[in-house]
Structure 1
Amino acid sequence: MTTKTNRKESVQEPLLEVENFSLLFRHYGKGLRESNLEVIRKFDLTIHEGEIVAVVGASGSGKSLLANAILGILPDHAVMKGTLNYKGEALSHKKLLALRGKEISLIPQSVNALDPLMKTGKQVQTVIKEKNKREIQNAIFRKVGLAEETGDRYPFELSGGMTRRVIAATAMVSGAQLIIADEPTPGLDPAALHETINFMKQLAKDGKGIMFITHDIETAIQVADKVAVFYAGQTVEIAHANDFSGKGEKLRHPYTKALWNALPQNEFTPIDGTQPFAYEATEGCIFQPRCPISTDICRQKQPAFHSVEGGEVRCFHA
Structure 2
Amino acid sequence: MTELPNCPVCLERMEESVAGILTILCNHSFHVDCLHQWFDTSCPVCRYCQTPEEVADNRCMKCGSHESLWICLICGNIGCGRYVGLHAYRHFQETQHTYAMELGNNKVWDYIGDNYVHRLVQNKSDGKLVQVDEGGNPVRDEKVDSLNLEYTYLLTNQLESQRLYFEEKMNEVERTILEKVHVLEEEKMNLTKECSHFHAELELANKEKQQSEKKCVQLQSRMKKILTDLQEEREMNKSLQRNQDEWKHRETEDLREQLRDVMFYNAEGGHVILGASGTLQPKHTRRKKQR
Counting helix residues as a fraction of each chain, which structure ranks higher? 2
TM-score range, shorter chain: under 0.3
Give me the TM-score of the superposition, normalised by structure 2. 0.17
Higher relative contact order (CA 8 A, sep 6+): 1
Counting strand residues as a fraction of each chain, which structure ranks higher? 1
Give me the TM-score of the superposition, normalised by structure 1. 0.16
Q: Which has the larger radius of gyration?
A: 2
